[in-house]
Structure formats: structure tokens, C-alpha cells
């Protein structure tokens, strides 16, 4: 899947392809966050932005015959057009994504292009729609078939659902069949995640106090609507982090596929933070250091423990194959050794089928990924190095699974014109199986430091 962006914040014209492991590097204020937030917003809102028209004749036939067969391939041929229209619609969501005025996005373009053939024909799909204890509709598609069968399960006389609602139900399920494997379910850990961990208790207290007072005042006021309006001043990823942190008591009761089938990865993460997280029955959040019988609150915990909270809960309680884990600066507040460790955990996630998207300033993280790429070759001496240094085969990365981009100013032909203009964009980085990822901005900064220090040492 390729994303094309025009006139989004500081990014004048840019594109990037979503790989199994996607990385955007670059200096401050170079557009990394704009690209990340725009991608996250689309993956969260695509079902609202994309529409599939269901003709009235289909509803009439369903209500008359009780069953209808749709050829899913007819809709499949329209996928490029449907996505293009959905992207145009999505630009209207951008003010909500960035919590910014509409005027900032009047010239913004956001496009999604598929880089592989959709596999909707191979998909197996089954869904039942009903209310209370009554099933009203059954929607079924068998694997390797284009036949999408919609069946009315109740008597026609008992169906009281408006035709528009039935249309929407069919449209939503068609979208799930066509695009469910194309657009991954996203989870984001924003750079502001440390703050939400510290103020979790205050956020819950403020919410409960507000709802309690509103319930005493005006019965015509919707407390939840008023509460949600208070979050409109924050970009969507920050709001999602706040919601996630506030719901940890419920999330804590779930298990991810990693916790069930790959507990060694959870153990490796626990070694980074030196302990584990605990949510009590009273919805209190604590950090438990390894080997100690003590509970430490988040405001007493280290910044590393707080910055990794969302990621830790995602790994242990949420992650599923095919998800997209988005992390803004995974190196946040981490010692260089732990930056290397988090790089190895991200590589293992990719190898387990979880897609990863990160923005980073960390030379340590990139260099550790380079090690994982360079060791992934069938050479005896490299195998010896991997074994000696403690690298497992589940950590090694294939270079073709990565897409790396540098947010920087470059010469571009804007709108296809011959004249080149220097503007902010995303430049693909070179990735070699033998040498790994080349990030010139990191290398030049390190070279400058080394040059200056050599002058200091040897200048006399």
C-alpha cells in the first residue's frame, strides 16, 4: 500500500510505501508526525470515509425472496475508484485527526494506492446481524468464491428495520470483505504517551466528577457528549492514548496472541523495564520491579517505565497478527542498551506477523536493526557471531521487509512541472542486505562530532 501526500503541514509532496517494517527518520520539524498521524487517521476512519452503493433493487429482492446472491467480484473491480473517492472524503476528517482548523487542509491531498492484488476472493467471511436474542440477517462468503450470500433469518413481516439501515449493513459488510485484509487495524503510541501514564488517575477522577455533577444539573445535557468535546483540542492519536490508558482495567483482562503463544517475547520486554505492570481490582495502576514485593505508582516510576506502558499493554493484551503497531519515537527515555533491545523486540514482532511503523531519531535503534539485517545471511561466520552475541533466528530481518524514509528538504518537480523546487518530502533510504540501512543525517552528525573531538585531542 502506497500513501501519497500533498500540502500536509510542512510536507509539500511526499509518498511512502507501507512495508512489514516501515521507518521514518529525520530531524525535528521535518514532517514525520504529519505523515504518521495522517496514516493512523485513515486506518481508523476508512470505514466511515469509504462508501459502497447498494442499489434499492437489492433490498427489494432480499425482502421479497428472503435471500440474495451478490457477485463480490463486481465490487472488487471498483476498488481503485472506491478508494480514490474514500481518500477525497477522508481529507474532511483531517481537522479532527490533527485538532486543527479546516483552513489548514483546504489544499491537502491524501491518496492510497494498492501495491498488491486484493485477496478478497480467497477470504472466508461470516457475519450475523440481529438485535437482542434475534438474528435478522446472515452474511456469508466461502473461501475461493465470489458468491456473497445475504439471508433474511426472520419472517419478512417482523422486519421493522428501515431500508436505509439494511443498505448500510450490507455496505459495511461488503467493505469488510473487500478491504479487511488491505487496511490493517492500527494501534498508536504517540510521543505524548508518558504524560497520559502520569495523569491517568487525574483523568479518571476528572471524568467521574464531571459526570456526577452533570447528572445532578440538567437532564437534557448529554454528559458523554460534553466530556468528549473536551478532547477535541488534542490530535486523534493523543486522544486514543488517553482512552487506552483510561481503559487499562478492562484491557488487563485480555490476552494477546503473543502472551498466549510467545511468552518469551513478553519476558524480553519485562527485562527492558525491569519488572511488570499491574492493574488492581480498584483500577489502580502499578509498576512491580522484578524480584521485589513492592508496588510503585506511575508518578513514582521511571520515565522509561511510563513511556513503554502503552507498548507493554499492547504486546501483552491487544496484539493480533496483521495489526499495525505505530510508535512515535520508540527510543523515548531509553538508555542506548534498551534502545537496542526494543529494536530486537520490534524485529521479532514483524517476524510474528505484526506490522510495525516507527518514527525515530535514534542512531542506536537503526544500527541494531542493521545488525539484524546483516546477520540474516547464510554464511557460517555470521551464524557464529549471532550465536556468540546471543541473537536468535526469530530476531533476524530480511532487508526486503523494510521500507525506510528520510524526512528532509529535497528538489522536487511540483505538480509535474519541469522546474525543480526545494521543499520538504520523504526520501527513500538505501537498504542493503550486506550493509543495512543508510541514514546519512545520522552518519553526518556523528562524523561531525568525531571530527571536532579529534581536533581537540590532536590539535596541539
Would you give per-residue pLDDT tens digits along the chain (460 residues)?
999 999 999 999 999 999 999 999 988 888 899 999 999 999 999 999 998 999 999 988 888 888 999 999 999 999 999 999 999 999 999 999 999 999 999 999 999 999 888 888 998 999 888 766 677 788 999 999 999 999 887 665 555 678 888 888 899 999 999 998 899 999 999 888 777 666 665 555 445 554 455 555 555 555 444 444 545 678 899 888 888 888 888 899 999 999 999 999 999 999 999 999 999 888 888 999 998 889 998 888 898 999 999 999 999 999 999 999 999 999 999 999 999 999 999 999 999 999 999 999 999 999 999 999 999 999 999 999 999 999 999 999 999 999 999 998 887 666 666 566 667 899 999 999 999 998 877 778 888 888 888 888 887 7
Kind of pairing between the strands at 134-141 and 125-131: antiparallel
The residue among 81, 82, 61 whose CA lies nearest residue 70 is 61
How many Å apart are CA 351 and CA 370, to the nearest integer? 16
Number of other residues whose CB lies within 10 A of the CB of residue 83: 23
Q: Where are the alpha helices (DSSP H) in 105-150?
A: none
Residue 226, pLDDT score: 47
Q: How far apart are CA 35 and CA 26, in angstroms?
A: 12
Q: Which residues contact 427 (CB under 8 A, 6 or more apart)?
A: 405, 406, 408, 410
CB-based contact 118:79 (threshold 8 Å): yes
SS3 of residue 415 by DSSP = helix
Report whether 256 contacts 265 (CB < 8 A): no
Check residue 444 and give its pLDDT.
Answer: 80
- CA gap 89, 108 in Å, rounded: 12
Q: What is the largest CA-CA distance in the chain?
A: 97
Give the pLDDT confidence score for residue 389 in this predicted structure: 93
The pLDDT assigned to 165 comes to: 86
Beta bridge partners of 147: 71
> What is the length of the chain?
460
Dist. CA 152–CA 55, nearest whole Å: 17
pLDDT score, position 416: 62
For residue 297, the model assigns a pLDDT of 87
The cell numbers describing 112, all together, are 492510497
Contacts of 424 (CB under 8 A, 6+ apart): 10, 11, 12, 14, 30, 31, 407, 408, 409
Contacts of residue 204, defined as CB under 8 A and 6 or more positions apart, other chains included, come to 246, 283
Amino acid at each position: 500500500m502506497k500513501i501519497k501526500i500533498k500540502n500536509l503541514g510542512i510536507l509539500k509532496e511526499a509518498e511512502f510505501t507501507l512495508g512489514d517494517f516501515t521507518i521514518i527518520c529525520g530531524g525535528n520539524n521535518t514532517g514525520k508526525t504529519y505523515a504518521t498521524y495522517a496514516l493512523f487517521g485513515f486506518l481508523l476512519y476508512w470505514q466511515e470515509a469509504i462508501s459502497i452503493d447498494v442499489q434499492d433493487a437489492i433490498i427489494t429482492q432480499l425482502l421479497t425472496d428472503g435471500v440474495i446472491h451478490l457477485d463480490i467480484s463486481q465490487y472488487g473491480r471498483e476498488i481503485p475508484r472506491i478508494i480514490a473517492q474514500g481518500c477525497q472524503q477522508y481529507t474532511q476528517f483531517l481537522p479532527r485527526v490533527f485538532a486543527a482548523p479546516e483552513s489548514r487542509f483546504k489544499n491537502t491531498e491524501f491518496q492510497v494506492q494498492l501495491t498488491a492484488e486484493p485477496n478478497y476472493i480467497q477470504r472466508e467471511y461470516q457475519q450475523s446481524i440481529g438485535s437482542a436474542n434475534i438474528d435478522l440477517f446472515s452474511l456469508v462468503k466461502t473461501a475461493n468464491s465470489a458468491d456473497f450470500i445475504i439471508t433474511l433469518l426472520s419472517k419478512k413481516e417482523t422486519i421493522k428495520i428501515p431500508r436505509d439501515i439494511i443498505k448500510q449493513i450490507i455496505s459495511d459488510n461488503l467493505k469488510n470483505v473487500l478491504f479487511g485484509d488491505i487496511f490493517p487495524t492500527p494501534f498508536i503510541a504517540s510521543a505524548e504517551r508518558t504524560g497520559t501514564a502520569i495523569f491517568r488517575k487525574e483523568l479518571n477522577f476528572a471524568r467521574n466528577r464531571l459526570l456526577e455533577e452533570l447528572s445532578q444539573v440538567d437532564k437534557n445535557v448529554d454528559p458523554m457528549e460534553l466530556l468528549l468535546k473536551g478532547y477535541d483540542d488534542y490530535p486523534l492519536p493523543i486522544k486514543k492514548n488517553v482512552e487506552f490508558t483510561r481503559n487499562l482495567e478492562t484491557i488487563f483482562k485480555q490476552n494477546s496472541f503473543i502472551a498466549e503463544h510467545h511468552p518469551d517475547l513478553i519476558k524480553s520486554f519485562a527485562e527492558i523495564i525491569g519488572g511488570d505492570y499491574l492493574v488492581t481490582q480498584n483500577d489502580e495502576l502499578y509498576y512491580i520491579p522484578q524480584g521485589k514485593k513492592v508496588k510503585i505508582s506511575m508518578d513514582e516510576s521511571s520515565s522509561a517505565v511510563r513511556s513503554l506502558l502503552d507498548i507493554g499493554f499492547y504486546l501483552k493484551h491487544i496484539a493480533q497478527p496483521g495489526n499495525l503497531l505505530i510508535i512515535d519515537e520508540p527510543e523515548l527515555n531509553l538508555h542506548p542498551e534498551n534502545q537496542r533491545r526494543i529494536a530486537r523486540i520490534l524485529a521479532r514482532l514483524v517476524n510474528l506477523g505484526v506490522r510495525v511503523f516507527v518514527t525515530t531519531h535514534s542512531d542506536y535503534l537503526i544500527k541494531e536493526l542493521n545488525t539484524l539485517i546483516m546477520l540474516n545471511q547464510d554464511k557460517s561466520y555470521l551464524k557464529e557471531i549471532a550465536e556468540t552475541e546471543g541473537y536468535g533466528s526469530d530476531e533476524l530481518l530480511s532487508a526486503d521487509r523494510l521500507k525506510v524514509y528520510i524526512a528532509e528538504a529535497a528538489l522536487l518537480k511540483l505538480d509535474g512541472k519541469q522546474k525543480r523546487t526545494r521543499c520538504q518530502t520523504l526520501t527513500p533510504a538505501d537498504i542493503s542486505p550486506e550493509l543495512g540501512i543508510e541514514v546519512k543525517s545520522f552518519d553526518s552528525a556523528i562524523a561531525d562530532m568525531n571530527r571536532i573531538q579529534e581536533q581537540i585531542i590532536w590539535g596541539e
